[in-house]
Amino acid sequence: MAVALTNDMKRVVAEQRLAFVATVCPDGTPNLSPKGTIAVFDDEHLVFADIRSPATIRNLEKNPATEINVVDQFCRKGYRFKGTAEIVRDGERYREIQLFYGKKWVDVGKGGRELKIHCFVLIKVEEALPLVSPSYDGGGDEKQIRREWVEYFDKLG
């Protein structure tokens, strides 16, 4: 049964440019792969483009179970989405997703090159849970935690 994505879930996915997709390898070990094309497709589905994800696609062909984590690195909050993946390589659904990306996808970090999309992965979200850092356990609030992480990243760069 699909879960309806909340406005906050949609906001976090839209704002964050990187998600981590977990799949299961044929030998039962985990595979974790970053995805920079994650998007909310509709109220019950997430989607990402396969640009360079052969292991992820092979794993999903054998076992469509997946978990996607999307986290705001600065406030240390986000969501974990569990669901079932459908690999979309052609047909009307492919064209629908392609059109969706043409309107919504923010092209950041491509270096001016056109990237080849091999297929799309459409995930029916069946469970969605909040991710919250233990930083909040000590009584910190979001504004304070965000400020501390912004300062940390500023010192790095």
- The residue whose two tokens read 């497709």 is 41
- How high is the pLDDT of residue 113? 58
Which residues have CB under 8 Å from 61's CB, separation 6+?
A: 87
Summarised one tens digit per residue, pLDDT across range 26-53 is 999 999 999 999 999 999 999 999 988 9
Domains of the chain: 7-156 (2.30.110.10)
DSSP 8-state assignment for residue 98: H
pLDDT at 153 over 70: yes
> What is the C-alpha separation between 126 and 38, in angstroms, rounded?
17
Surface-to-core class of residue 131, CB atoms within 10 Å of its CB (0-12 exposed, 13-18 middle, 19+ buried): middle
Query: When comparing pLDDT for 143 and 20, which is higher?
Result: 20
Q: Which H helix or E strand runs over 150?
A: helix 142-156
For residue range 55-99, list pLDDT tens digits in order. Answer: 999 999 999 999 999 999 888 899 999 999 999 999 999 999 999
pTM over 0.85? The answer is yes
| pLDDT over threshold 90, residue 136 | no
